[in-house]
Amino acid sequence: MTTEQTNKNPLIAKNEWFIILAAVVLPFIFHFSPYIQGLLIFIMIWTVLGSSWNLLAGFTGLVSFGHAAYFGVGAYVGGLLYFHFHISPWWGLLLGGPVAVLFGYLLGLMVFRLRGPYFALGTLASAEILRIVFGQEEWLTNGHNGILYITTWVSKYPYYFVGLAIALGSVLTIKLVMRSKAGFYFLSIREDEDAAEALGIDTKLYKNIATIISTFWAGTAGAFYMIYMGFIDPEVVFALHNISIITILVGIIGGVGTIWGPTVGAVIMVLVQELFRSAFFDLAPSWVSRMHELAFGLLVIFVILYLAGGVVGDWDIIRKRLHFKRAEIKE
Amino acid sequence: MKYLKVIIILVLTAAFALSISGCGKKADGPVKVGVLLPLTGSKAKFGEMEKNSFELAKEKINEARTKAGLNKIEFVYEDDTGKPDVGRAAMEKLVNVNKVAMVTGGYSSSVTFAAAAVAQQYRIPFLVNTGSVDKITEPEAFNLTTDDGDKFYIYRLNPPVSEYASGLESLLREVVKPKSVFIIHENTAFGTKGAEAFQKSAEKLGIKVVGDESYSGGTVDFKPMLSNAKKLNPDMTYMISYVMDAAQLMKQARELNWKPKLFVGAGAGYTMPAFKENAGVASRRMVSATLWHQSLPIPGAKEYFDGYIAKFGGDGPDYHGAEAYAAATVVDDVLKRCNGNYDAATIKKALDATDMMTVFAPVKFTSYGKKIHQNKVETYVVQWIDGTLKLIWPKDLANAPFEYPIDWTKIWAK
């Protein structure tokens, strides 16, 4: 991590250019089926959400258990524009982020007074409150009937590239921020908030900056989800388990406090879930498909026990294991 | 930065594996038909009954098809887990990966509606057999008009939720004559729309609605809501719930000793064998709207009911199973009339021309009001009497007399 923060390195390293190029070019060469495109788009969405959570939790030490709040608000911005005024939800893509930031700020007024586990519980509660309010206030949100939007394109390619742009945008802004002075302030807040304060860092300001960036991308991910899926209801977008918790797990599996960790986590999460859900493409008996959540849970337990830094954070350990070298493993 | 290679390797392996799995389609194999059902999650009981019924129908259909030298039908089941977003992904998988000729099934209203939009977009005929919210067969909800029948790919063989209580209305008018009702419903599409429809029925019958409360599925403690209802002392209560909540509601109503003249369910959870098993004593004399009963004079209904018990045991299916079995036979009939040409347009034409009898009800897709491609179905009333579901209304079709008035103290005693 520290090597990534020296400003001499270019913002996008050679390897990263390679990935970006591959992501742009491969769809033209291989002509992925819509099914694979769908999986790739979900990887993008989880990358954005995971990265956004990671900036707050991994780099700034503010472990949020309620990222669904910002995701859901972002999704509902486009959804409500369409539902009430028949305005294209694509506008939500522009407005979802800023409105989520506004919500994040308002929630922050409450939850930033809390620290550690109390902060986590505060964020969890705020997402749950939004879920219930959006479910009950039918005049505003259509409640549990949800909002249905006939999506703009049947083909998934356009969504793939929009998703890719958002994913890259989120990862690169976070990388950029983490190379700046603000990034070092975030880390100092994570390591010891009181000490950072004593050194003259305006911790409240920098916590707010981290929140703004994080909620912006979470809201944008939500807005994109609305446009792509064409259906939202409060149970889907404010889900504690399906959004907030999975976001955390994506971060943990990939590597908390690493730039590319959430991306790797998103890839692993989507692939493992889909492999099991489809019963290894119907090669395995069908009861395997009922295990998809169990499989992912076991993977998380394994990562927490043996690779506390996540796949990216503990890459050295994995590499040594894969090469079957009996090397000293630093803890 | 070596770990970046992991991403590439993972993505490429996946892409490769997936592209292989996409192959292997035989031109002369069975006709693939997708079935969207909740096979896991809180609505799995319904999904299980419907899947069993599809399998039961498949045996018979394929036997007849082999004799006639036709392609067999293969049902490809996809689990929607009772969630709209998963249902949409499942529908996409059926269309893109399994390349099914058409799709049927569709259990809960919200999942069916969300998935129907996907079918409509891909122009794949979708024969809904249970999802009941009205807008599923209203082209307006999909940015079309009622004149766009040739562009609208959704068909439904079950009645919409607004018509569930039509059979019940005459029972209330002629026998029970309640003055007031308390409505309890799940806060989903099915629940809210069902409650709205019953409010209208109540107005028509001159019954005063003294309260209308909603809850979220999976609630554990209904007692605050039920005590509130008890205080208002309505003549009857009308409840719209899936099966586990239905059992909880009735158990807790009994514990609170709430004794209105009549407890009425809106079908769904209240006619399921699992309701009786879970609610136990509290299920006794519960009345429910229903869309079907095995004792109805419909050819094949009794045979289907007995065949189901013979194969899967238990108390036998309720209307959900009959809907699924009927959907399978409609699919068979429709595909036969396609003469081996299974493209969406031909199947759609065959669906339009459907006019047949099934174990559930006659099936013919008509237009009325805002709806098109909608089958008209009579509705009935059932009551749990001595551990079995008896058809009590309309009187000329009933296989047991309606037990009323009910002495709850005696009935609810162990």
Strands B362-368, B355-357: pairing kind: antiparallel
| Structural domain contains residue A296 | no
The residue range of the domain holding A161 is: 3-238
| Residue A330 predicted with pLDDT over 90 | no
Q: In chain B, whose CA is at the least distance from the CA of A155? A: B122
> Contact at 8 Å (CB) between A281 and B18?
yes
B309 touches chain A (CB under 8 A): no
Give B137→chain A minimum CA distance, Å: 15
Measured between CA atoms, how close is B121 to chain A, in angstroms?
A: 7
Q: What residue has token string 């003249």?
A: B261
Task: Let me know: does A126 contact A107? Beta carbons within 8 Å.
Answer: yes
Q: Which tokens belong to B279? A: 């609610």
Residue whose tokens read 């592209």: B19
Q: How many CB atoms sit inside 10 A of residue B194's CB?
A: 31
**Nearest-CB residue to B92 (from A15, A34, A271):** A34
- The CA distance from A232 to A212, in Å, is 24
The alpha carbon of residue B171 is apart from the nearest alpha carbon of chain A, in Å, by 30
Angle between helices B109-122 and B84-96 (to 10 degrees): 30
Global pTM exceeds 0.80: yes
Sign of CA dihedral B328, B331, B336, B342: negative
Query: What confidence score (pLDDT) does residue B17 get?
Result: 56
3-class state of residue B289 by DSSP: strand
Sign of CA dihedral B217, B223, B229, B234: positive
Pick from A216, A242, A232: nearest CA to A80? A232
| Residue B286: both structure tokens together | 């519960």
Give the β-pairing of B126-128 and B380-385.
Answer: unpaired
The Cα–Cα gap between B329 and B127 comes to 12
Residues 6+ apart with CB under 8 A from A269: A46, A246, A249, A250, A253, A296
Higher pLDDT, A134 or A6: A134
Choose among A89, A72, A83, A80: nearest CA to A130. A72
Closest C-alpha among B188, B194, B245 to residue A234: B188
The tens digit of pLDDT for each residue in A285-320 reads: 777 777 777 888 888 898 889 888 888 988 888 888
Alpha-carbon distance A245 to A247, whole Å? 5
Q: Does B88 touch chain A (CB under 8 A)?
A: yes
Residues in B 136-175 with any Cβ partner in A closer than 8 A: 141-143
Question: In this structure, is the dihedral angle defined by the CA atoms of residues A277, A279, A281 and A282, taken in order, positive or negative?
Answer: negative
> How much is the pLDDT for B3?
61
Residues A55, A28: Cα–Cα separation, whole Å? 32
Q: A154: which chain B residues are within 8 Å (Cβ-Cβ)?
A: 121-122
Is there a contact between A42 and A36 (Cβ–Cβ < 8 Å)?
Answer: no
- CA B365 to each of CA A197, A252, B146, B352: distance values in angstroms, whole numbers, following the listed order: 71, 52, 13, 7
| In a domain? residue A114 | yes
Percent of chain A whose pLDDT exceeds 90 = 56
pLDDT number for residue B253:
96
Instruction: Give, as one character, the DSSP assignment of residue B137.
Output: G
Measured CA to CA, the distance from residue A76 to residue A147 in angstroms comes to 9
Whole-angstrom distance, CA of residue B380 vs CA of residue B267? 10
For chain B, report the end-to-end CA distance as a whole number of angstroms: 70
CA A44 to chain centre: 9
- On average, the pLDDT of chain A sits at 88
pLDDT in tens, A123-132: 999 999 999 9
Give the A window 126-145 contacts with B, CB below 8 Å.
Answer: 135-136, 138, 143-145
Give me the amino acid identity at A42.
F
B121 near A CB under 8 A = yes
Round to whole Å and give the CA distance between A258 and A260. Answer: 6
* Shortest CA gap A104–chain B (Å): 25
pLDDT in tens, chain B (414 residues): 556 666 666 655 665 555 544 443 344 689 999 999 999 888 999 999 999 999 999 999 999 999 999 999 999 999 998 888 889 889 999 999 899 999 999 999 989 999 999 999 999 999 999 999 999 999 998 989 999 999 999 999 999 999 998 899 999 999 999 999 999 999 888 999 999 999 999 999 999 999 999 998 888 999 999 999 999 999 999 999 999 999 999 999 999 999 999 999 998 999 999 999 999 999 999 999 999 999 999 999 999 999 999 999 988 999 999 999 999 999 999 999 998 899 999 999 999 999 999 999 999 999 999 999 999 999 999 999 999 999 998 899 999 999 989 999 999 987
DSSP state of B72: P
Position B23 scores a pLDDT of 40
Instruction: Tell me the C-alpha distance between B372 and B366, whole Å.
Output: 6
Nearest-5° Cα angle at B272, B102 to B245: 100
Q: Is-contact B78 B91, C-beta < 8 A?
A: yes
Instruction: Provide the pLDDT for residue A10.
Output: 81
Do B117 and A150 form a contact (C-beta atoms < 8 A)? yes
Q: How many domains does chain A have?
A: 1
CATH top-level class for B163-290+379-412? alpha beta
Tell whether A291 is covered by a domain. Answer: no
Q: Strand pairing of A147-148 and B236-240? A: unpaired
- List all residues of chain A from 251 to 280 with a beta carbon under 8 Å from chain B: 260, 263-264, 267-268, 271, 278
**Contact yes or no for B153/B127 (Cβ under 8 A):** no
Amino acid B22: pLDDT: 43
Distance between CA atoms of residues B112 and B136, nearest Å = 8
pLDDT classification of A1: cutoffs 50, 70, 90: very low
Nearest to B40 by CA among A279, A267, A266, A40: A279
E strand or H helix that includes residue B154:
strand B154-156
Q: How far apart are CA B111 and CA A73, in angstroms?
A: 22
Contact across the interface for B93 and A154, Cβ inside 8 Å = no
Q: Where are the domains of chain B?
A: 29-159+298-375, 163-290+379-412
Residue A53 inside a domain? The answer is: yes
Chain B hits for A19, Cβ within 8 Å: 4, 7-8
Amino acid A61: pLDDT: 92
Report the alpha-carbon distance of residue B96 to residue A100 in Å, rounded: 34
Q: Nearest-CA residue of chain B relative to A259?
A: B1
Alpha-carbon distances of A224 from A33, A86, A142, B65, B120, rounded to whole Å: 21, 17, 20, 47, 21
Helical H segments across A63-199, by residue range:
67-85, 90-111, 116-136, 138-141, 157-179, 181-191, 193-198
Query: In the CATH hierarchy, which top-level class contains the domain B29-159+298-375?
Result: alpha beta
Q: Is A19 on the interface with B (CB under 8 A)?
A: yes
In this structure, the strands spanning B31-37 and B73-79 are parallel
Cα separation, B192 vs B197, in Å, equals 9
CB A143 within 8 A of CB A76: no
Q: Rounded CA gap, A36 and B390, in Å? A: 50
What tokens does B68 get? 């006639």
Q: Flag if A35 and B88 touch (Cβ within 8 Å).
A: no
Residues pairing with A231 in the sheet? A148
CA pair distance B236, B224, nearest whole angstrom:
18
Give contacts of B5 with chain A, Cβ < 8 Å.
15
The shortest CB-CB distance from A315 to any of B2, B11, B121 is to B2
A36-73 burial, b for 16+ CB within 10 Å, e for fewer?
A: bbbbbbbbbbbbbbbbbbbbbbbbbbbbbbbbbbbbbb
- Closest chain B residue by Cα to residue A21: B8
Q: Does A271 map to a domain?
A: no
Q: Residues for chain A: how many in total? A: 331
Query: Angle A134-A139-A142 (CA atoms, 0-180°, nearest 5)?
Result: 55
Distance, in Å, from the CA atom of B189 to the CA atom of B175, rounded to the nearest integer, reads 30
The C-alpha atoms of residue A159 and residue A145 are separated, in whole angstroms, by 25
